[in-house]
């Protein structure tokens, strides 16, 4: 695919059409963008958008089909293009945050009813599937103002889900690129992800504003928490990489995260937040140097 644009285009369209392989199509678009630039990746993006649009148009209204196609592939392409131009994951995170912030500002200004409609659709879907009993009980007993807050948290979580899906596809593309041209480079990049002190100030300000029920702050809070969660995961991997046996600690941590997400998710967010202040990686590196000197 990296040497034949027609073959890459064919694979992209086929992966869009096949069920449950849209994320692979996004990875192909990201990989071509990372290697060949925005123009070549953009051609694949256009093909994927048209293919996905025509698939969605048969079951969704026109506007919903357009939005669905854009959300499926455009954020991943923009993230890949940003990484291609800047070689910085932090810049990618800033771009995605600004993208979500712009989208939420547009919704709050031009179509706030859409947020409430999304909330009603999700509640009806959960009621039909008999899922989320606690959520439904809470929402039924809520006042209109509280339901508005729930709706904005929900739209923010949906935006974070779109961003997470885009980042996963981009990470797969970056992993393949590193395997081909820079073995070990992807691991180094993932282990080096961390925030800065200004990011901690940002999340504290957003948490305070969300506590005061500012809707825009509620909308962007999930994606900010997602970035700190990723930073916490990166710190944990970097700590585990200093040990000889990686498989057992990674397996245990993954199982605990799967069974107790309500505990582990805040823990990883807290780790990512504290790392912006103390840079635990530097502390671990200093301790490792001391241990080496003692052995010698």
Q: For residue range 29-81, list pLDDT tens digits in order.
A: 999 999 999 999 999 999 999 999 999 998 889 998 999 999 999 999 999 99
Say if 235 falls within a structural domain: yes
- Is 281 a residue whose pLDDT tops 80? no
- Is 239 a residue whose pLDDT tops 60? yes
Average confidence score pLDDT of the chain: 87
Say if 254 falls within a structural domain: yes
* Closest to 219 measured CA to CA, from 282, 286, 157: 157
CA 253 to chain centre: 20
The DSSP letter of residue 194 is: -
Say if 72 falls within a structural domain: no
Rounded CA-CA distance 224/217 in Å is 10
pLDDT at 262: 84
pLDDT at 212: 94
Say if 187 falls within a structural domain: no
* Residue 234 · residue 194 · CB < 8 Å: yes
pLDDT at 288: 46
- Is 294 a residue whose pLDDT tops 60? no
- Is 141 a residue whose pLDDT tops 70? no
Say if 294 falls within a structural domain: yes
Structural domains of the chain, count: 1
pTM of the model: 0.90
Residues whose CB falls within 8 Å of the CB of residue 150, separated by 6 or more in sequence, listed in order = 119, 138, 139, 142
pLDDT at 191: 84
* Residue 53 · residue 43 · CB < 8 Å: no
Q: Supply the range of the domain harboring residue 214.
A: 193-296
- Is 119 a residue whose pLDDT tops 90? no
Say if 181 falls within a structural domain: no
Say if 243 falls within a structural domain: yes
Say if 281 falls within a structural domain: yes
For residue 209, name the pLDDT band (cuts at 50, 70, 90): very high
């Amino acid at each position: 695919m990296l040497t034949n644009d027609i073959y890459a285009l064919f694979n992209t369209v086929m992966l869009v059409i096949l069920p449950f392989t849209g994320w692979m199509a996004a990875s192909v678009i990201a990989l071509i963008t990372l290697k060949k630039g925005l123009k070549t990746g953009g051609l694949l993006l256009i093909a994927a958008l048209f293919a996905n649009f025509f698939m969605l148009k048969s079951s969704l209204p026109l506007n919903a089909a357009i939005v669905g196609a854009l959300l499926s592939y455009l954020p991943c392409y923009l993230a890949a293009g940003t990484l291609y131009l800047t070689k910085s994951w932090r810049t990618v995170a800033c771009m995605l945050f600004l993208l979500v912030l712009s989208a939420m500002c547009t919704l709050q200004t031009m179509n706030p009813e859409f947020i409430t409609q999304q909330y009603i659709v999700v509640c009806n879907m959960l009621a039909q599937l008999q899922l989320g009993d606690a959520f439904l009980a809470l929402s039924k007993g809520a006042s209109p103002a509280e339901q508005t807050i729930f709706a904005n948290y929900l739209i923010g979580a949906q935006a974070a889900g779109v961003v997470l899906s885009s980042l996963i596809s981009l990470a797969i593309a970056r992993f393949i690129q590193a395997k081909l041209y820079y073995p070990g480079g992807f691991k180094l990049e993932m282990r080096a992800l961390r925030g800065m002190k200004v990011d901690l100030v940002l999340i504290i300000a957003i948490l305070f504003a969300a506590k005061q029920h500012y809707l825009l702050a509620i909308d962007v809070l999930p994606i900010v928490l997602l970035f700190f969660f990723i930073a916490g995961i990166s710190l944990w991997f970097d700590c585990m990489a200093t040990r000889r046996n990686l498989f057992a600690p990674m397996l245990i941590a993954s199982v605990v995260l799967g069974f107790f997400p309500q505990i582990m998710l805040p823990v990883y967010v807290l780790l990512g937040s504290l790392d912006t202040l103390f840079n635990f990686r530097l502390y671990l590196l200093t301790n490792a140097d001391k241990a080496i000197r003692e052995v010698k």
